[in-house]
Amino acid sequence: MSLVEGFVTFAIIWWVVLFMVLPWGINRQANPELGHEPGAPEKPRVWTKVAVTTVISVILLFIVRAIIESGWISFRG
């Protein structure tokens, strides 16, 4: 796997994992202030979710890389 292939694979995995991690730990406000969206989370903790996404994505990238380089899955046809 070349550097570009690895980066593209990581970017795809990262975005997929981010959308799976975003809903974790969401608590809505019981009584939102006037003008605030009632569905908005109290504490979104975005940076924590970005860090968790990055760690999970790195682990998944190594797993995907190992599977591709082992020959179990071949994209060469």
Given pLDDT bands bounded at 50, 70 and 90, which one contains residue 42? confident
- Predicted confidence at residue 25, as pLDDT, reads 86
Of 38, 16, 15, which Cα lies nearest the Cα of 27? 38
Are 11 and 57 in contact by the 8 Å Cβ rule? The answer is: no
- Predicted confidence at residue 43, as pLDDT, reads 85
Residue type, 48: T
Are 42 and 31 in contact by the 8 Å Cβ rule? The answer is: no
Of 69, 61, 48, 45, which Cα lies nearest the Cα of 7? 61
